[in-house]
C-alpha cells in the first residue's frame, strides 16, 4: 500500500493469527465486497463524527479520520489498494489503510461498532443507491419505448394470444404494455428503497453497546429515514437485499419477454422489426446472418437474475439468530445483480430506439379478417343475439370460409345472412381494423383516443421523473 506509515495490524487480523491458508482462501471476500468501499467509508465517517459529538472520541482525531477516510476512498477508486487475503473483507482493508495513514488514531474508529452492523449498513446504503440507478435505467427504456409508441400510433398489427393472431391492436398499445410493466418495476424499486433506508449502526455485534451512541444522528447524516428496532434482527436481516433481488429478477423477466419478442419479430417469418446494424451481430461463419443477440442476452440474463434471488433466499433460510458467516455469501448476487440489469436495460433501450418497425408487414398479418371475428360476434350481440349463439354463428362462418377457400373478410353479405338472420349488409364494415379500434375506447383499451391518453400520461410522468 502506497505511502505507508508503520502498518498496524487490526486486532481481528491478529486474532486470525496463523490461520491455515485453506481457511484464509475460503474466508476472503474482498474480491466481491471491495465494491462496497464507498459505502463503507461513508458509514465510517458518519460513525466517527457522531462519536466525537458524543464525546467518545476527541474532536481533532475524528476530523483527521474523516479526512484520511476521504483519501482511502480515493485510493480504492483509483485501484491503488492492494487486496490482501489475510485481511478478509472491505471493512478490514479500509481500517488497515486508515491505520497506515493515521497511526494509532485509527484505533478510535470502531468503538461501539461491529463488522456485523457495519456490513448491514454498507449493504443498505448500496441498496438505496442501486434502487435509484436501476430505476433510472428502467425509465430510459420506458422513454425509448414511448418514443416508438408515439411514432406508431397508427400502425396496426395483430395482438396475439397463444402466439396465434387474435385481435388487432396498435403498435403503440403493444409497446405501452412494456411501459406499464417497467412502471410497476420502478414503483417496486421505490418501495424497496424506502424500506431499506434505515440504519442498523448501534446494533453492535448483536446486542448493542454500552457506549452512548446517537443512532438517529448517524442515520440522519447518511440521509436514512430512521434506525432499526431490534439489534438481533438488524445484524442478520437481509430482507432488503432479497427484496432488491426480487425487484431486479422481475424486471429482468420483463426485459426477457421484450427480448423474446425482438428475437421473434426480427425473424424472416415475422419480419415485423429490423434491428439497427449497431445493435445486431453477425455470424463468424455465415455471412448473411444478422443476429438479435441483444434479445437473446436479455433472456439469458433473466436466468442469472432469478438464480441470484434464489441464492440469497437459500443462504438465509436456515439461519438461527443472529449474525452468521453464511451471510457473507450474499455479496456476489447482491452487488452484481443491479448492474447486470442496468446493462441489459440500456442495450435494449438502444435497440428499441434505433429499430425499424415494419408497418406494412404488421398490417399484412391482419389481412383476411380473421382477427375481426370477435367484432362480428359482437355485431350480433348489439342486435340482441345472445353471445353464445353469436359465437356459434361466426364459428360456422369461419368453417364456411375455410371450405370455400377464402378469407373470412371475403364472405358476401348473402353468405352471412344465410348463417344468421340478424346479419345485414353492414356486417362487412366489421372487417375494417381501424374502425374496430375506434370502437374500443374503454379505459385501458387499444382505441386511438385511449392510447393517446396513455401516451400523454406517460410522457408527462417521465418528464417529471416519476
- CA atoms of 202 and 362, how far apart (whole Å): 61
80 SS3 class: coil
Query: Which C-beta is closer to ligand ARG: that of 16 or that of 450?
Result: 16
Using an 8 Å Cβ cutoff, are 281 and 291 in contact? Answer: yes
- Which of 110, 131, 130, 134 has the alpha carbon at shortest distance from 43? 110
Q: Which region, left, alpha or beta, applies to residue 176 given φ > 0 means left and ψ of -120 to 50 means alpha?
A: alpha
**Helices within 355-408 (DSSP H only):** 359-364, 373-382, 387-404
CB of 89 to ligand ARG, least distance (A): 4
Of 281 and 336, nearer to ligand ARG (C-beta) is 336
Residues marked active site are found at: 162, 283
Quick one: which of 307, 313, 306, 189 has its CA closest to 253? 306
Which one, 187 or 321, has the nearer CB to ligand ARG? 321
Q: Which of 95, 327, 96, 87 is nearest to 206 (CA)?
A: 327
Q: Count of CB atoms within 10 A of residue 77's CB?
A: 12
What is the pairing mode between strands 226-227 and 198-199? parallel
Of 162 and 325, CB closest to ligand ARG = 325
Q: What is the maximum alpha-carbon separation in the chain?
A: 100
Name the residue nearer to ligand ARG (CB basis): 115 or 174: 115
Q: How far is the CB of 293 from ligand ARG (least distance, A)?
A: 35
CB of 297 to ligand ARG, least distance (A): 30
Using CA atoms, how far apart are residues 114 and 200, in angstroms rounded to an integer? 11
In the bound state with ligand ARG, the residue whose beta carbon lies nearer, of 203 and 345, is: 203
Q: How far apart are CA 98 and CA 109, in angstroms?
A: 9
Query: Min. distance of Cβ 274 from ligand ARG in angstroms?
Result: 47
As given in the structure block, the three cell numbers for residue 69 are 477516510
213 phi-psi bin (left φ>0, alpha ψ -120 to 50, beta other): beta
Q: At 111, list the grid cell.
A: 468503538
Closest approach of ligand ARG to the CB of residue 115, in Å = 4
Report the Cα 122 to chain-centroid distance in Å: 21
Which positions lie near ligand ARG, rule CB under 6 A? 29, 33, 89, 115-116, 119, 325, 327-328
C-alpha cell at 50: 457522531
Q: Nearer Cβ to ligand ARG, position 116 or 436? A: 116
Q: How far is the CB of 29 from ligand ARG (least distance, A)?
A: 5
Q: What is the closest distance, in whole angstroms, from the C-beta atom of residue 199 to ligand ARG in the complex?
A: 16
Amino acid at each position: 500500500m502506497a505511502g505507508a506509515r508503520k502498518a498496524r495490524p487490526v486486532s481481528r487480523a491478529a486474532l486470525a493469527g496463523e490461520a491455515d491458508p485453506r481457511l484464509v482462501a475460503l474466508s476472503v471476500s474482498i474480491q466481491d465486497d471491495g465494491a462496497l468501499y464507498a459505502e463503507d467509508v461513508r458509514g465510517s465517517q458518519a460513525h466517527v463524527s457522531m462519536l466525537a459529538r458524543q464525546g467518545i472520541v476527541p474532536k481533532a482525531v475524528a476530523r483527521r479520520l474523516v479526512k484520511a477516510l476521504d483519501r482511502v476512498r480515493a485510493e480504492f477508486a483509483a485501484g491503488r489498494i492492494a487486496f490482501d487475503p489475510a485481511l478478509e473483507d472491505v471493512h478490514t482493508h479500509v481500517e488497515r489503510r486508515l491505520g497506515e495513514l493515521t497511526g494509532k488514531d485509527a484505533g478510535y474508529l470502531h468503538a461501539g461498532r461491529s463488522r456485523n452492523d457495519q456490513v448491514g449498513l454498507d449493504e443498505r446504503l448500496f441498496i438505496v443507491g442501486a434502487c435509484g440507478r436501476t430505476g433510472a435505467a428502467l425509465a430510459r427504456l420506458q422513454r425509448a419505448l414511448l418514443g416508438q409508441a408515439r411514432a406508431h400510433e397508427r400502425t396496426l398489427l395483430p395482438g396475439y394470444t397463444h402466439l396465434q393472431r387474435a385481435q388487432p391492436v396498435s403498435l403503440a398499445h403493444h409497446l405501452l404494455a412494456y411501459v406499464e410493466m417497467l412502471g410497476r418495476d420502478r414503483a417496486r424499486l421505490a418501495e424497496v428503497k424506502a424500506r431499506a433506508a434505515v440504519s442498523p449502526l448501534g446494533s453492535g455485534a448483536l446486542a448493542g453497546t454500552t457506549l452512548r451512541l446517537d443512532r438517529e444522528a448517524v442515520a440522519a447524516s447518511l440521509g436514512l429515514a430512521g434506525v432499526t428496532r431490534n439489534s438481533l434482527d438488524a445484524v442478520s436481516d437481509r430482507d432488503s437485499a432479497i427484496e432488491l433481488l426480487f425487484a431486479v429478477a422481475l424486471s429482468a423477466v420483463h426485459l426477457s419477454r421484450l427480448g423474446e419478442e425482438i428475437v421473434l419479430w426480427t425473424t424472416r417469418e415475422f419480419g415485423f422489426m429490423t434491428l439497427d446494424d449497431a445493435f445486431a451481430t453477425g455470424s463468424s461463419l455465415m455471412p448473411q446472418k444478422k443476429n438479435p443477440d441483444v434479445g437473446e442476452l436479455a433472456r439469458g440474463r433473466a436466468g442469472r437474475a432469478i438464480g441470484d434471488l434464489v441464492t440469497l433466499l437459500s443462504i438465509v433460510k436456515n439461519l438461527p439468530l443472529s449474525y452468521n458467516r453464511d451471510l457473507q455469501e450474499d455479496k456476489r448476487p447482491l452487488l452484481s445483480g443491479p448492474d447486470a440489469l442496468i446493462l441489459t436495460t440500456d442495450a435494449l433501450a438502444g435497440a428499441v430506439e434505433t429499430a425499424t418497425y415494419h408497418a406494412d408487414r404488421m398490417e399484412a398479418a391482419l389481412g383476411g379478417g380473421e382477427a375481426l371475428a370477435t367484432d362480428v360476434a359482437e355485431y350480433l350481440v348489439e342486435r340482441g343475439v345472445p353471445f353464445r349463439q353469436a359465437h356459434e354463428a361466426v364459428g360456422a362462418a369461419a368453417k364456411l370460409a375455410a371450405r370455400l377457400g377464402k378469407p373470412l373478410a371475403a364472405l358476401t353479405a348473402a353468405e352471412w345472412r344465410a348463417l344468421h338472420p340478424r346479419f345485414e349488409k353492414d356486417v362487412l364494415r366489421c372487417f375494417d381494423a381501424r374502425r374496430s379500434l375506434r370502437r374500443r375506447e374503454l379505459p385501458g383499451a387499444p382505441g386511438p383516443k385511449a392510447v393517446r391518453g396513455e401516451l400523454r400520461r406517460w410522457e408527462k410522468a417521465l418528464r417529471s421523473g416519476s
